[in-house]
Structure 1
């Protein structure tokens, strides 16, 4: 394995990263747009948001399995201690949100007595939690707040990748791309 290859994420990790990233941004935009629609179109568009959320959950679980079975490249050696700590913290929060947001959405739907239709292919049943519309509303509010926090952290993540790529010149974004220079 070449030295550059050892500092780059595996192709599988790259595929999971970019697929999940694109779907998260897309799903955020679906939710944003759906909020201003009138019923019944609003419910239909939120149905897509829910289905994509379940796809994101499945991909995240696949990504975690991949991560536990494939080596992760070390962080660049020139990172300040606080930068390394921030990177690890943000990545951990990403995984918590990538799992927690879809599960929270599923729980809130279940408390509202609703199943989740996944693009007409199959239906995810409601969790056996009984109905409680007040609690469902509170969880949906927490879900929306978590989504906003997620988007802010994604912005921070992008800024960090750009800083490390163009200012620090330590490979930054190219660690998660199959091209570009990752210096030694």
Structure 2
């Protein structure tokens, strides 16, 4: 008898994980495209999509965190080294922090410009009740961009860990987050 269901993440967690992964990649590409747009108008339109997707990512991250509180993650493999356990927990904690703080910082910075955030024309987040401060908003966006780089580095570390477990350890760890394959007990 195998214990694969106990080792695999629930399907809700899988869907939220992969939607967040796709969203982060799309955000990165939108930010680069917005900065390199051919015109100011094109840049504004691209960044409008970046802001909208940021709100969606915030909602997905909050949903993933809520799900995790209700449905804890399956246990890590018992043969992981202490440093691997620590790195896994630290990486996941930092993901949650960045995926929640970054969109909030973007909303806060937009509010300092006196703007809310339109979310794909479906709904809008109003500007937060903060004093106008374009210089402060610019500084916040600078921190937001630095956090974006940190998020990409963290994602790279996450991918490298997955590759290590898949290609070197051959422990089936990748299949914990996929609805197919054999995670090791």
TM-score category, normalised to shorter length: over 0.9
Question: Matches of 1:79 and 1:8 in 2, distance apart?
Answer: 16
Equivalent-residue separation in structure 1 for 2:3 and 2:98 (angstroms) = 33
Q: Larger deviation: 138-147 or 35-44?
A: 35-44
Task: Tell me whether 1:49 sits opposite 2:50 in the alignment.
Answer: yes
Q: 2:99 aligns to what?
A: 98
Q: Give 1:165 shift.
A: 1.5
Q: How does 1:6-45 map to 2 (within 5 A)?
A: 6-37=6-37, 38-45=39-46
* Matched-pair contact (CA < 8 Å) for 2:77–2:184: no
CA drift of 1:71 comes to 2.9
Deviations 1:101-159 (A, max 9, x none): 00000000000111111111111100001210111011000000000010011011001
Does residue 1:72 correspond to 2:73, yes or no? yes
Matches within 5 A, 1:132-151: 132-151=133-152
Q: Once the 2 structures are TM-superposed, how far is the Cα of residue 2 of structure 1 from its aligned partner?
A: 5.3
Large movers: runs of 4+ above 6 Å: none
Q: Name the SS of the counterpart of 2:45 in structure 1.
A: helix
Gaps of 5+ in 1: none
| TM-fit CA distance, 1:72 | 1.1
**What SS class does the counterpart of residue 40 from structure 2 fall into?**
coil
Q: For this pair of structures, how many residues does the alignment match?
A: 184
Runs of 5+ in structure 2 lacking a partner? none
